[in-house]
Amino acid sequence: MSVATRNVDAGENQGTHHNEHALSPKTKGPRTYRIAELFLILLAIAVSAGAYALVGLGTDKQIPANVIEYSVWLAALSIILHVVTWWRAKYADPVIVPIAVLLNGLGLAMIFRLDQAKGTSVAVNQLIWMTLGVLLATATVIFVRDHRILRRWTYTFGLAALLLLLLPLIPGLGKTINGARIWIHLGPFSFQPGELAKIFLAIFFAGYLVTFRDQLTAAGKKFLGMSFPRLRDTGPIAIAWVASVGILVFQRDLGTSLLFFGLFVAMLYIATNKKSWIIIGLSLFVAGAVVASQIFSHVNQRLSGWLNALSPEEYNKSPGGSYQLVQGLFGMAKGGLVGTGLGEGRPNVVPYAESDFIYASLGEELGLIGLFVILILYVILFQRGFKTASELRDGFGTLLLAGLSFTVALQTFIVVGGVTRLIPLTGLTTPFLAAGGSSLVANWIIIGLFLRASDNARRPAEELATGVLRVARVSEPENESGSNAEVVSSSSARSASADEDAQTVQNNQTLSEAPTTVLNQRRSNE
């Protein structure tokens, strides 16, 4: 049985199941778990406030005077997002928001602890950026009523991502920090446009790969038991490779280059289920990195500081030495299994401990157990995103959620791997934990997209045709080329007669748009 046949069969069974529920008015829909979400949010706030208080006890031997104001502000932001989710996306995954709040709260506590040691006020700025991020996540839930509508502007998002990546290269606007030119400076504010570009690129890749999936899955020559793509179909990955190498060369940022190229390769594999794309992608990136290390000095410095970190020459080299990396390793070693306790260590010894090396700072004061708990939170967030991707009824949403989930996971791996000397150091920040407004805002927008997509995935099919979501009148959604335009239902679709028509359209759409992705193949097999 072919993949398409399996997917069609799965769609038929799903459509029949939903029709049975629609015919029975007494049948209860799935649980929303909003009360469970509220409980988890309150627990996350309690842990965050407790960490904030422990920092004060560890540094000043007294609880901070503003702990109540801090807790109330954090609770207000969380409850606002919770209420809006209950209102606009009541079937959304109940675990996503509590995890984001807890990670953000732990990051704020550690940044406040570093402020106490350095006499700075970075935590105040971080709380302001968190406020903006939560508000943007809330706006995403309210105004993006259906994630599929984003596909209409596939190429617009691609162009916007390209412009954002080029902004740091503009003279007078771009700013070089620690050798990497990934920032723009507007008055007293600085911003990293690449953080927003990763969201736009995920939308662009999802729309592009859904449109050209058939061409990319066409079988070519076989080698070592794997079917490689045809040579004429390798253009997209070649363009992505050239773009990533360009970022590595001109912006001098290995992390951003690896993140964007890895995102494209992962989404390409999910869309086509061809392992050969992974082999081609890894080969291209390794070859580009090796050549760049031989030609460009800044890349060679990164590799030398990684390979020879403990040598006296690299340790004492300034700038570009391994002092920061080694101090972070010493701090985590001092923390041991259970850590020194919040406010009891010396994480301020490490340069940029509140941003690039906040994971090492947490390792010193929370220990190995604390670091494992934080990693588990990221794993759960990644798992919920992939689970949502597998449950979505459209190929575009499946690829988009899988790509965004992989972005969070890959960025976490790159940062943690660099801090622990598994891979060379990069300029990326740990999602939700590290100080950095651009990163925090972008990740909260991703949370908003998670909530919207998970609501669409878990919502019963009979509710999708009642005006809650816009229902397509044709099987192929709209793209910017103008072919096969998606026509949304009018306001009269909320009436009884239009509900019946929309239900029929939704069932037909499920049959015709069943995505042939890795996630959906596994789901149909189950």
* Whether residue 256 sits in one domain with residue 116: yes
Assess if residue 509 is contained within a domain: yes
Closest by alpha carbon to 251, among 372, 167, 189?
167
Sheet of 189-191, strand order: 174-177, 180-186, 189-191
Q: Running DSSP on this structure, what letter comes out for residue 354?
A: T
How many Å separate Cα 98 from the centre of its chain?
Answer: 16
Assess if residue 27 is contained within a domain: no
Of 462, 481, 503, the residue at which a domain comes to its end is: 462
Give the 3-state DSSP-derived string for 260-287, with helices as H, strands as E and coil as C.
HHHHHHHHHHHHHCCHHHHHHHHHHHHH
Q: Which residue has the tokens 């090796």?
A: 290
Length of the chain, in residues? 526
Of 462, 492, 517, the residue at which a domain comes to its end is: 462
Q: How far apart are CA 295 and CA 14, in angstroms?
A: 55
* Whether residue 471 sits in one domain with residue 409: no
Assess if residue 129 is contained within a domain: yes
Q: Which residue has the tokens 């953080």?
A: 195
Residues β-bridged to residue 479: none
* Whether residue 144 sits in one domain with residue 118: yes
Structure-block tokens of residue 25: 């008015």
Is 63 exposed, middle or buried, given 0-12, 13-18 or 19+ CB atoms closer than 10 A?
A: middle
Q: How far apart are CA 271 and CA 236, in angstroms?
A: 13
Q: How far apart are CA 110 and CA 371, in angstroms?
A: 13
* Whether residue 362 sits in one domain with residue 405: yes
**Domain total of the chain:** 2
Residues β-bridged to residue 177: 180
* Whether residue 502 sits in one domain with residue 381: no
Identify how many contiguous H helices and E strands the chain contains and give both numbers.
Answer: 20, 5
* Whether residue 404 sits in one domain with residue 520: no
* Whether residue 410 sits in one domain with residue 433: yes
Q: Which residue has the tokens 């009541």?
A: 90
* Whether residue 382 sits in one domain with residue 520: no
Q: How far apart are CA 161 and CA 159, in angstroms?
A: 5
338: number of Cβ within 10 Å:
12
* Whether residue 497 sits in one domain with residue 458: no
Is 249 exposed, middle or buried, given 0-12, 13-18 or 19+ CB atoms closer than 10 A?
A: middle
Q: Which 3 state secondary structure label does DSSP give 223?
A: strand
Q: Running DSSP on this structure, what letter comes out for residue 494?
A: G
Of 441, 462, 483, the residue at which a domain comes to its end is: 462
Which residues 6+ apart lie within 8 Å of 353 measured at CB? Answer: 114, 347, 360, 361
CB–CB of 154/204 below 8 Å? yes
* Whether residue 476 sits in one domain with residue 408: no
Q: What pLDDT is stored for residue 409 in this prediction? A: 94
Assess if residue 237 is contained within a domain: yes
Long-range contacts of 288-295 (CB under 8 A, 24+ apart): 288/241, 288/244, 288/245, 288/248, 289/248, 289/254, 292/245, 292/248, 292/249
Assess if residue 241 is contained within a domain: yes
Q: How far apart are CA 505 and CA 472, in angstroms?
A: 7
Q: How far apart are CA 322 and CA 309, in angstroms?
A: 5
* Whether residue 252 sits in one domain with residue 393: yes
What is the span of the domain harbouring residue 501? 463-525
Q: What pLDDT is stored for residue 465 in this prediction? A: 54
- CA dihedral sign, ordered 470, 476, 477, 483: negative
Is 70 exposed, middle or buried, given 0-12, 13-18 or 19+ CB atoms closer than 10 A?
A: buried
Q: Which 3 state secondary structure label does DSSP give 314?
A: helix
> What phi and psi, each to the nearest 5 degrees, are found at residue 183?
-120, 150
Q: How far apart are CA 372 and CA 159, in angstroms?
A: 39
* Whether residue 478 sits in one domain with residue 351: no
Assess if residue 1 is contained within a domain: no
Assess if residue 247 is contained within a domain: yes
Assess if residue 21 is contained within a domain: no
Mean pLDDT, contiguous 10-residue spans, the chain (526 residues): 40 43 51 93 96 93 92 96 94 96 96 92 93 96 93 91 86 73 75 88 90 71 61 68 73 79 88 82 82 76 86 83 91 93 91 91 95 96 94 92 94 93 86 91 96 92 58 42 38 37 40 47 49
Q: How far apart are CA 129 and CA 133, in angstroms?
A: 6
Question: What is the residue type of 116?
Answer: Q
Q: What pLDDT is stored for residue 12 in this prediction? A: 39
Residues β-bridged to residue 219: 229
- CA dihedral sign, ordered 112, 114, 118, 123: negative
